[in-house]
């Protein structure tokens, strides 16, 4: 008889439920025999990525047989210049998911606690629980982070606070003043991980008073800012993210990081993408227009949503959302159910191209009035 290997798994791992990604387009095509499918489920960039990226990857093809630069010199140097920080402050990851996991593995023992908000990004509890450490979930306020409550939840056992700004899946955000008050309430030895995966999408409307974590790294040596090339830079498939922190913290992270965690194509593409800030600006503008389009459409349907600073919007359906999600799939439209985030009556929709947004609105209208 086969042993029960789930019971043999590490204690923290036994209780994990795996991350549920957005449904891939090809999977839905296979399952329902559809040919015309759109995916607005993973906050991907509908504009694709910078034109520089393709050429860069072509050039890199000859080097497939070689290991990538395990120090990531060129990309780290480019990021250091971009943010005007020392190169030793930058840690690269295979997506920022990898960076988040490296942080948890580098700092958490099973006896430790990490704190995060209700409705925050699902990867925080995953990386904390996998180690067997204790995750403390602090109730959200208006779907967003309740910073005073997060600070108040810290105990002597707390080593890390994870914050997402803007947050996924709610799109909520907090400003610099609230964050600074929070940092002043947090003991200096507690690490604060500020996940800014969507920061490049923050529009001018929101930007006033918005927090830029990079500007506060000098002031708070316990701050780690994480960012990614997956969202506004449009490199989700390549998996590149990074942390910027004090060199001391980066040195600890580097002890856990796998030597070749980011591949050469990803690093070369990210370096090229970073140099094309015009593409990022166009992405931000296109996103702002899509946000307008979706909000107008939702309003016309009498539906509410959570105000979002990201490239997605979480819609309140005032009914169980899973059947609506399923009905949208049958129409070839993939969005993201968020019941696993404690939001069983919401759906998260990523901004698409104008035609995709229009198709989503049409199909949602049809499904909701059926």
Range in contact with ligand PLP (rule: CB under 6 A) among 1-9, 75-83, 92-100, 341-349: 92-100
Report the nearest approach of ligand PLP to the CB of residue 4 (Å): 32
In what side-by-side order are the strands of the sheet with 90-93?
90-93, 241-244, 223-228, 191-195, 158-164, 113-117, 134-138
Report the nearest approach of ligand PLP to the CB of residue 16 (Å): 17
Please tell me whether residue 96 binds ligand PLP under the rule CB under 6 A.
Answer: yes
Please tell me whether residue 95 binds ligand PLP under the rule CB under 6 A.
Answer: yes
Please tell me whether residue 195 binds ligand PLP under the rule CB under 6 A.
Answer: yes
Report the nearest approach of ligand PLP to the CB of residue 161 (Å): 14
Q: Which residues contact 63 (CB under 8 A, 6 or more apart)?
A: 264
What's the angle, vertex CA 216, arms to CA 210 and CA 221, rounded to 5?
145
Structure tokens at 54: 């393709």
Please say which residue, 97 or 283, places its beta carbon nearer to ligand PLP: 97
Contact by Cβ (8 Å): 225, 80: no
Residues 62-81 interacting with ligand PLP (rule: CB under 6 A) = none
User: Which helix or strand (DSSP H or E) is residue 305 part of?
Assistant: strand 304-306
Structure tokens at 358: 């229009």
Closest Cα to residue 76, out of 338, 249, 271, 337? 271
Please tell me whether residue 121 binds ligand PLP under the rule CB under 6 A.
Answer: yes
> How far apart (Å, rounded) are the C-alpha atoms in residues 153 and 315?
29
Please say which residue, 272 or 361, places its beta carbon nearer to ligand PLP: 272
Query: Which of 128, 164, 191, 363 lies at the binding interface for ligand PLP (CB under 6 A)?
Result: 164
Residues 168-187 interacting with ligand PLP (rule: CB under 6 A) = 168
Please say which residue, 210 or 361, places its beta carbon nearer to ligand PLP: 210
322-330 and 354-369 helices, crossing angle to 10°: 120
Q: Which residues pair with 224 in a beta bridge?
A: 193
Residues 220-239 interacting with ligand PLP (rule: CB under 6 A) = 228, 230-231, 236
Q: How many residues bind ligand PLP (CB under 6 A)?
A: 14
Query: Which of 12, 144, 241, 332 lies at the binding interface for ligand PLP (CB under 6 A)?
Result: 241
Please say which residue, 96 or 363, places its beta carbon nearer to ligand PLP: 96
CB-closest chain residue to ligand PLP: 95
Dihedral sign, Cα of residue 332, residue 328, residue 200, residue 282:
positive
Contact by Cβ (8 Å): 136, 158: yes
DSSP state for residue 119 in the 8-state scheme? T
In the complex, the residues that contact ligand PLP under the rule CB under 6 A are 43, 95-97, 121, 164, 168, 195, 197, 228, 230-231, 236, 241
């Amino acid at each position: 008889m086969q042993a029960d290997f789930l019971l043999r798994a590490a204690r923290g791992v036994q209780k994990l439920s795996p991350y549920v990604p957005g449904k891939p387009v090809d999977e839905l095509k296979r399952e329902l025999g559809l040919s015309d499918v759109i995916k607005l489920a993973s906050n991907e960039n509908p504009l694709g990525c910078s034109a520089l990226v393709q050429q860069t990857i072509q050039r890199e093809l000859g080097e497939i047989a070689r290991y990538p630069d395990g120090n990531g010199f060129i990309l780290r140097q480019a990021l250091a210049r971009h943010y005007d920080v020392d190169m030793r402050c930058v840690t690269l990851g295979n997506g920022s998911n990898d960076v988040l996991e490296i942080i948890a593995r580098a700092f958490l023992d099973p006896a430790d606690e990490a704190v995060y908000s209700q409705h925050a990004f699902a990867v925080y509890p995953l990386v904390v629980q996998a180690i067997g450490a204790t995750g403390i979930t602090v109730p959200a306020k208006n779907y967003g982070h309740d910073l005073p409550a997060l600070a108040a939840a810290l105990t002597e056992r707390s080593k890390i606070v994870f914050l997402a700004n803007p947050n996924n899946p709610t799109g909520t955000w907090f400003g610099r003043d609230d964050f600074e008050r929070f940092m002043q309430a947090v003991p200096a030895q507690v690490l604060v991980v500020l996940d800014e995966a969507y920061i490049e999408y923050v529009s001018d409307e929101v930007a006033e008073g918005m927090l830029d974590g990079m500007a506060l790294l000098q002031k708070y040596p316990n701050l780690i800012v994480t960012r990614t090339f997956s969202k506004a830079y449009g490199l989700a498939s390549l998996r590149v993210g990074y942390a910027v922190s004090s060199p001391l913290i980066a040195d600890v992270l580097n002890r856990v990081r796998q030597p070749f965690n980011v591949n050469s194509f990803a690093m070369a593409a990210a370096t090229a993408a970073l140099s094309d800030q015009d593409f990022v600006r166009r992405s931000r503008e296109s996103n702002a227009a899509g946000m307008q389009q979706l909000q107008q459409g939702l309003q016309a349907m009498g539906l509410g949503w959570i105000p979002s600073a990201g490239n997605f919007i979480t819609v309140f359906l005032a009914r169980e959302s899973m059947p609506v999600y399923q009905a949208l799939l049958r129409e070839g439209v993939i969005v993201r159910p968020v019941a696993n985030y404690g939001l069983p009556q919401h759906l998260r929709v990523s901004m698409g191209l104008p035609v995709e947004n229009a198709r989503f609105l049409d199909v949602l209208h049809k499904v909701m009035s059926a």
